[in-house]
Amino acid sequence: MRIIDPQQIKGWWVVWLGGIALAVDALTALLTYSMQKDSVNIRALFLHNLSDALASVAVIIGGILILLYDLRWVDPAITIGIAGYILYLGLTEIGGTIRTLMLGSPVDIDTDAVILALSNIEGVIDLHHVHFWQMGEHDASLDAHVVIEKSAWDQLESTKYRIKQALEQEFNISHSTLEFEHPDHIHKDAHIYGHG
């Protein structure tokens, strides 16, 4: 309705308040910029400040257009544009958060390389029922069934240590749940990933 019937706008108030908001939002965006790469929460804060700063620029431009040309329809148009931009940011940034909340597979881990590296550890014959989980913002986890050679069965703890050490040092996977299987009791037709 404000586009159809534009209201009277105090252009100077819009410009001055937009300028103050721009200064505050630009400062907070600068303060959070360097930290936003390591935390999804700080990134959300940074993007919020950045979008507020851009909105302030749009408000200032709108105020100037109202002052110079009495284009009062610009005010609701800018409001709709800002809302659309914020919606776009929300939709593009929510994927990583949903992946963590739903315990999805980490996107930055080559799962085939992990399985190959673990299969090459002394005493390991095979892996199956392997699950990769994104447990937190920077924490990945692995669950797996590990088939151990008969000759290495009495050295289970040292084999487990080597597996966990490889996971942490090579792939930054600090949590793992391992179920060891004797070759005489191996799961038949087991899939490498998941259940089957």
pLDDT digits (tens, 9 = 90+) for 82-125: 889 888 888 887 877 787 777 788 888 999 999 999 999 999 99
106: in domain: no
1: in domain: no
Q: Tell me the sheet residues that pair with 178.
A: 144
The Cα–Cα gap between 84 and 157 comes to 56
144 and 86 part of one domain: no
Q: What is the mean pLDDT of the chain?
A: 86
* Domain of 17, in residue numbers: 11-101
What pLDDT is stored for residue 196 in this prediction? 42
- Domain ends where: 77, 101, 125? 101
**Does the structure show a pLDDT above 60 at 142?**
yes
- Tell me the per-residue pLDDT of 26-39, one tens digit each, with 9 for 90 and over: 898 888 888 887 77
36 and 86 part of one domain: yes
- Comparing C-alpha atoms, which of 108, 157, 154 is closest to residue 132? 108
15 and 94 part of one domain: yes
Q: What is the mean pLDDT of residues 163-183?
A: 94
Query: How many domains does the chain fold into?
Result: 2
21 and 97 part of one domain: yes
Q: Is 96 within 8 Å of 40 (Cβ atoms)?
A: yes
193: in domain: no
What pLDDT is stored for residue 8 in this prediction? 66
16 and 97 part of one domain: yes
The Cα–Cα gap between 150 and 183 comes to 7
What pLDDT is stored for residue 148 in this prediction? 94
Burial environment of residue 121 by CB neighbours within 10 A (0 to 12, 13 to 18, 19 or more): middle
180 and 129 part of one domain: yes
The Cα–Cα gap between 183 and 166 comes to 22
| CATH classification at residue 132 | 3.30.70.1350
- Domain ends where: 71, 101, 131? 101
116: in domain: yes
Helix 40-69 vs helix 11-33: angle between axes, to the nearest 10 degrees?
160
- Domain ends where: 51, 70, 101? 101
Q: Tell me the sheet residues that pair with 126.
A: 147
